[in-house]
Amino acid sequence: MSVPEFRWLPAGIVTRTLACVLDALVVVMMLIALWAGWSVVTFLARPARFTLPSPSWALVVLVGSSAAIVYLAAGWGVSGRTYGAQVLGLRVMRTGLRPLGWPRSLLRAVTCVVFPLGLAWTVLDRGNRSLQDVLCASTVVYDWVPRAGLDRTRHAIPHEVTADD
């Protein structure tokens, strides 16, 4: 199989929204696992007086937001992808198709969690960039390559981008 002709083109609102939904599900599953672990530890500590933990909404929002920021920043900082982006063939890059880097990944993660409706700006922007992309000088591109026939050295990054950039 060859490299798709849409590779490195800006991703649209539908694909990006679906990736966000998948990422939100991952964070919710992480929070459920954390709550279940907390429940087990509480049970083991005092089994006779055990009740299921019921955290306040403020704690849930604080821990959930923190988990989402760490999850997003780590994904974008390491590979430019989160689970949702991997499934849908997307990658977050700096303008010029360079890796995003840790500071921009963290800033982008914070802005995505604090103001998720910034994604709607994608519909109005000619380059399909969200408000977070504009603020962080980033872009989300299609980077899906079929596994069969993939030559990792030749198709890993666009030809005009080098490691020295």
Reading the chain (165 residues) residue by residue, the pLDDT tens digits are: 466 788 889 999 999 999 999 999 999 999 999 999 999 999 999 999 999 999 999 999 999 999 999 999 999 999 999 999 999 999 999 988 899 999 999 999 999 999 999 999 999 999 999 999 999 999 999 998 766 544 554 445 554 554 444
Interior CA angle at 107 toward 104 and 165, to 5°? 5
Separation of alpha carbons 55 and 135, rounded Å: 34
Q: What is the pLDDT of residue 70?
A: 98
What would you report as the CA-atom Rg of the chain, rounded to the nearest whole angstrom? 19
Q: What is the pLDDT of residue 157?
A: 52
> How much is the pTM?
0.84
Which residue carries 């980077």 as its tokens?
143
Separation of alpha carbons 26 and 72, rounded Å: 11
Q: What is the pLDDT of residue 8?
A: 87
Separation of alpha carbons 149 and 69, rounded Å: 35
Sequence-ordered list of residues with C-beta below 8 angstroms from that of 110, at least 6 positions apart, any chain: 69
Q: H helices of 6-101, where?
A: 13-45, 57-78, 83-88
Which residue carries 């977070």 as its tokens?
132
Q: What is the pLDDT of residue 7?
A: 87
Phi first, then psi: what are they for 92, rounded to 5°?
-90, 125
